[in-house]
Amino acid sequence: MTRHADLVLTGGTVLTFDAQDSEADGLAVLDGEVVALGDVAPLVGPDTRVVDLRGRTVLPGINDSHLHGAWLGAMWPNTLLGGPPAEQTGPLVSDAASRRAAILRAGDVVAELGITSYTEPGLGPGEDEGATGCFSAAVLEEYAALAASGELRARVTALRLFGVLDGPSSLADFERGLATPPPAADPRWLAVTGVKIFADGIPPMKSAWTHSCYTDGTSGHLLVDGEHDAEREANLRRMIDTAHRAGAQIGVHATGDRTIDVVVSAMADAIAAHGRAGRHYLIHGDLISAATLATLPGLGIGLNTQPGIATSTGSWLVAAMGEDALHSAWPLQSAFDHGVPVCLSSDAPVLGPDWRQWIAAAAEWTAATPGPDLMRRLLRGYTVNAALQDGAESWKGTLEIGKVADLCVLETNPLTINPADLPKVGVELTVVGGKVVFER
Ligand SMILES: [Zn+2]
């Protein structure tokens, strides 16, 4: 006898994002997994919750692959660039209760947006004395505790941080940190996949390491410890090689073209010497050159970029580097053309976490005509490609039988509208592992 479904959604459109971009008109969930697509009526029993979609559209749950959850939860509704941050007199979080409250608040904020997974890009001992308290090893421990008690409202991937956020790091601290085990957790709720390295700063602050000079004649430098460029580069290469050999995923904050070239070359060397391991990726990638971009797919290196930051800070880039720099910065269309697995993300709370706005912003950075193909491609950056970055494409990121029931229900089918109109489309329902975590 077939068991009845726990939850059924019917009478709308299900965009599965599977390899064929199949669509269905219904979806059934049992024990947290998708068990049927299409005709789900036979699975409805007396205890099944039936959601009549009334023409609304189901997407795979949104995965914001670069979002500082604890920091967002502690700051919300303030953000760094989207409004004046609240006056900060001490750390935003300072004890277990406040860390926990911040993570839970982030869970509420993202649930309302249909976000069912996110990556915490950098938690660890490098920030134990940090000004906000939001990136410490204790925050990662709190995530593990919430994962164990079943209280997380989104699935979390975390990268560990053995240096200072947006600041220096040393090879010795990195090697010592990497040798310590991360907290244990169910990897479907908290997956500690690897490490975050801050290789350089950002172009508007003239702290990204670049081949050409800023308007003041400087060209930045790497953040990794060292007396001079060659020593800093050697230490960064050692970090990447060490983490790769340890099987860790490596996410590198890299914005300047010179930094990006060194990072990709170091990753390529590690792959050539030791084989593929980890889904390594560049974070931000503002000034990546066309030549380096073209090498990423062959190396399996991803690009995690924030269209909202590109839109918000483009004029600052012009002030630091001149008008020409903007023409080649954030080459999203070129990344798509080369087949780079692009992840789009918010970097919240630098900006707000509303992915609908950042998909609209991303469309502005492409040369493509608005339409279903472009929308699918942009949504993949928040679903399929983000699951790839997580190394979790076998069980999440698309709506297929046997995958987890992480769902985002929108009031309008996004494939029928222009990206510029997406921010007005309401999120109606969010489901994580078959459980409703938000309902309008
Ligand atoms: Zn960030």
List pLDDT tens digits, range 369-394. 999 999 999 999 999 999 999 999 99
Between the CA of 53 and the centroid of ligand 1 the distance, in Å, is: 36
| CATH number of the domain within which 280 lies | 3.20.20.140
- The pLDDT of residue 84: 63
Instruction: Please report, as a single letter, which amino acid is at residue 109.
Output: V
Share of the chain above pLDDT 90, in %: 96
Q: Which one-letter DSSP state was computed for residue 84?
A: P
Please provide the average confidence, as pLDDT, over all residues in the chain. Answer: 96
Mean pLDDT to the nearest integer, 404-425: 98
- For 215, the domain range is 61-395
Cα–Cα distances (Å) from 333 to 175, 199, 281, 338, 378, in that order, read 37, 25, 18, 9, 11
The alpha carbon of 307 and the centre of ligand 1 are apart by a number of angstroms equal to 13
User: What residues have CB less than 8 Å from 257, skipping those under 6 apart?
Assistant: 210, 211, 287, 288, 289, 292
> Do the domain assignments include residue 51?
no
166 CA distance to ligand 1 middle (Å): 9
pLDDT in tens, 161-203: 999 999 999 999 999 999 999 999 999 999 999 999 999 999 9
**What distance in angstroms lies between residue 117's CA and the mean position of ligand 1's atoms?**
16
Residues with CB under 5 A from ligand 1 (ion): 347
Q: 424 C-alpha vs ligand 1 centroid, how far in Å? A: 26
Does some domain include residue 133?
Answer: yes
Is 141 part of any domain?
yes
**pLDDT for 79-136, tens place per residue?**
998 766 566 678 899 999 999 999 999 999 999 999 999 999 999 999 999 999 999 9
Residue 278 has pLDDT above 60, yes or no: yes
Q: Which two tokens stand for residue 213?
A: 């000079």
Q: In which band, very low, low, confident or very high, does the pLDDT at 277 lie, cut at 50, 70 and 90?
A: confident
Distance 299 CA to ligand 1 centre (A): 24
- In a domain? residue 326: yes
15 in any annotated domain: no
- What's the pLDDT score for residue 81? 87
Asked whether the predicted pLDDT for residue 275 surpasses 60, the reply is yes
Is 408 among the domain residues? Answer: no
Backbone φ and ψ for 302, nearest 5 degrees, come out as: -95, 170
| Predicted confidence (pLDDT) per residue in 215-254, tens digit | 999 999 999 999 999 999 999 999 999 999 999 999 999 9
Is 27 inside any structural domain?
Answer: no
Q: How many domains does the chain have?
A: 1
Of the chain, the percentage scoring pLDDT greater than 70 comes to 98
Q: What's the 349 CA to ligand 1 centre distance in angstroms?
A: 8
Q: Is position 84 within any domain?
A: yes
Q: How many A from CA of 203 to the centre of ligand 1?
A: 15
Q: List alpha helices for 300-380, DSSP H.
A: 307-321, 323-328, 332-337, 355-364, 372-380
Confidence check: pLDDT of 437 > 70: yes
What is the Cα–Cα distance from 221 to 213, expressed in whole angstroms? Answer: 11
What is this structure's pTM?
0.97
